[in-house]
Amino acid sequence: MRPLLCWITVGGLALSSCQAPSVVSQRHPPHDDESVAGPTTKCERGSVQLTERALRVHRSAILVDGHNDLPWQIRDKGESSFDNLDIAQYQEGVHTDIPRLRKGGVGAQFWAAWVPPETMKEGGGARTALEQIDLIRRMAERYPETFELAYSADDVVRIRRKGKIASLIGVEGGHAIENSLGVLRMFYDLGARYMTLTHTETIDWADSATDEARHGGLTPFGEEVVREMNRLGMLVDISHVSYDAMRDVLRVSRAPVIASHSSAYAIAAHPRNIPDDVLQLIARNGGVVMVNFFSGFVEPDAAGMIDSVFETMEGLREKYPQEEDYRKAVRDWRRDNPIPRGTVHTIVDHIDHIVKVAGIDHVGLGSDYDGCSVLPEQLEDVSCYPYITQELLNRAYSKKDIHKILGGNLLRALRGAEQVARNRKD
């Protein structure tokens, strides 16, 4: 089961595919290569209308999404079988399949090899990570006309030029290495190019943003993990970790750091989001914050409601020990406790804020599709990314800056991590 924090993705999801309105002409389109320092105005908060210009700008970018949990959905709903859940065709109940990836113009995707925190007690964290990495690799083998595994920024560019979607691997949850740098190195050798240091629970060497802080950030071993990731060329992902852990990572790391699916705390006050002082540190580090789409993290009113979700879910788990009973209780609770969804404007508000505080070179997209169930209007699934491009144009971002947000910044950070690794091996 996917994490509680994403509004409990259990059972079927009530999804509606992103419905694109008719493409309309923009009344006063500036030149595509026009350069501006940042957003100057906000459009009205109605539905975003796609224009031909937005589609041209979107298609000419390499869109890199920092976090998608489809592998766990295939494991959970399809029993890890692409015969049972064939993503070559539209699949009800998930946010991601090949037709919608194509429609959304996705050029590269970090697929999450998520490891449930329960494995810290039950064991099997490394095995679960290996099984998820294997599933991602098998996905590329099953659909070779669509996916190709990427191990570097240059691979991403090369694969995209072939018209394929570059597939990268991110391990979500540092407990998966079971306190072993050898396991970390093995994950890298199998293709993992980032690791999220924690998930929803504090681990032996790093504090989580949504659990009791036991270490004041990173332990000495946690710092050693960061240094080893720098040596390997693996991006350090600070989504999910506590603010003190973020600051420790940014103090220790010599390579750019990412937050693969986090947003701006100043816009939505949830501990999964990044505060302004850390945004400034990320800018100095050369890193990137990849904005999460989950309504509970990005919509201000929803962020306040989500704070109590853990206690509620723990109570339901105690009351309903059988998995099916628990899932039904969660569905019923979600139905009776809806949260505000927000819109595509909400996501761009977060982008605007990160640009204001950290700069245009330090923001990207990390949707968390298939890891959460409540999403903003006009961002219901992976087909919907062009609406972000349109809204960025509406707010007077240039083509050059939009390309940075859609993927250029992440590729620069990945190249930076690769360079640090090369320097340490010389």
Give catalytic residues, as residue numbers.
67, 69, 172, 199, 240, 261, 368
- Burial of 417 from C-beta contacts in 10 A (0-12 / 13-18 / 19+): buried
| 344-358 helix and 385-394 helix, angle to the nearest 10 degrees | 60
Q: Measure the CA–CA gap between 339 and 296, rounded to whole angstroms.
A: 7
For residue 279, the one-letter residue type is: L
Q: Measure the CA–CA gap between 155 and 143, rounded to whole angstroms.
A: 18
- Burial of 31 from C-beta contacts in 10 A (0-12 / 13-18 / 19+): exposed
Would you say the C-alpha torsion 305, 306, 310, 315 has a positive or negative sign?
positive
196: helix, strand or coil: strand
Distances (CA, A) of 133 to 140, 195, 289: 11, 12, 24
Instruction: Please check whether residue 110 is in contact with residue 169, taking contact to mean a CB–CB distance below 8 angstroms.
Output: yes
Q: How would you classify the pairing of strands 106-114 and 63-68? A: parallel
Token pair listed for 160: 């995209």
Q: Three-class SS string for 117-166? A: CCHHHHCCHHHHHHHHHHHHHHHHHHCCCCEEECCCHHHHHHHHHCCCEE
DSSP conformation class of 374: -
* Nearest alpha-carbon partner for 72 in 26, 163, 3, 118: 3
